[in-house]
Amino acid sequence: MRNGWDTAPDPQTASIGFTRAGERGDAWAQYNLGHLLLDGNGVPMDHAAAFTWYRRAADQGHARAMNLVGRCHEQGWGTSRDSCEAEQWYRRSAEGGYFRGQYNYATLLLARGELAAARHWLGQAKENATPLVADRIASLFSHA
């Protein structure tokens, strides 16, 4: 219902289903509920709750959620701003195979001048990236 497949999009109803499934431990539901809460889509915006749901999914090994936990730490969304925590979560997401985690981790490495490691993760990200991210990766390769 969130995306409106075969029906009109209804993020509020989707949030009810995601909450139920998330409370039962479904990592995808936890991740999706985190998105609704982060954006205030169908539910009141609540960055702290979004972070909690992302973290629950990440603790189960959900690589996309790990990336969002990193982003929350990087931006201070629902948790303290902590660049060390952000980097650790981006690395875990990257190692889990998620291209956005690989990209985000590589950009941190690149900023620190760790060019060989940055190239490695950019290459990994480019293999699975969407066209938009693949374009960003191509532009970063000139700096790595």
Q: How far is the first Cα of the chain from the last one, in angstroms, to the nearest whole number?
A: 42
Confidence label for 91 from pLDDT (cuts 50, 70 and 90): very high
Kindly report which listed range (49-53, 97-101, 103-107, 124-128) carries the lowest average pLDDT score: 124-128
Using a pLDDT cut of 70, give the percent of the chain over it: 92
* pLDDT of 76 higher than 90: yes
The topology (CATH level 3) of 1-96 is 1.25.40
How deeply is 27 buried, as exposed, middle or buried, from its count of CB atoms within 10 A (0-12, 13-18, 19+)? Answer: buried
- Residue-wise pLDDT for 3-48, tens only, equals 445 667 899 999 999 999 999 999 999 999 999 999 999 999 999 9
At residue 142, what is the residue type? S
Q: Is-above-0.85 flag for pTM?
A: yes
Residue positions counted in the chain:
144
Comparing 8-22, 53-67, 121-135, which segment has the lowest mean pLDDT?
121-135
Mean pLDDT of 46-66: 98
**Domain map of the chain by residue range?**
1-96, 97-144
